[in-house]
Amino acid sequence: MISYRRGNDIPIAVLRDLYHASTLGARRPIDDDARFAAMFANANLVITAWDGDLLVGIARAMSDFAHYTYLADLAVRVSHQKSGLGRALIARVRAAHGEHTNLVLLSAPAAMEYYPKVGFTNVPTAFVIKAGEPLR
């Protein structure tokens, strides 16, 4: 049975294992302990899914709890994908910040087909300056 928890006090090795097992690790700095740990220490909304003692899913977000919540990471172990865990994590993020706020994210190319299925609308008006790129 899956249980859900709120909080960001999770050992870095447990987080790293989930990110490897979900394929999100290829797009996150999981081998830079300080940076990876800071991602969680500074997130103000982290919801996890556990299958017994095994971390099987996570939603990491930053929210003002009034107007916008940025869903920075949604990761589910490949072994647990297509079971409704992603949808359940998103629902818990929305419940934590209220239905009246906007939930936004940047999708990995491989997940572009998933998010519309759970209610996200593609709004191609975002701009990004990637880490290490200069402001011109």
Residue 130 has pLDDT above 80, yes or no: no
Pull the structure tokens for residue 35: 């940076």
Q: Which domains does the chain have, with CATH numbers?
A: 2-117 (3.40.630.30)
What does the DSSP 8-state code read for residue 109?
Answer: G
Residue 60: predicted pLDDT: 96
User: pLDDT tens digit string along 16-32?
Assistant: 999 999 988 888 999 99
- Give kind and range of the element (H or E) at residue 87: helix 85-97
User: pLDDT tens digit string along 53-106?
Assistant: 999 999 999 998 888 899 999 999 999 999 999 999 999 998 987 677 888 988
Residue 108 has pLDDT above 80, yes or no: no
- Spatial strand order in the sheet of 54-63: 2-6, 45-51, 54-63, 68-76, 102-104
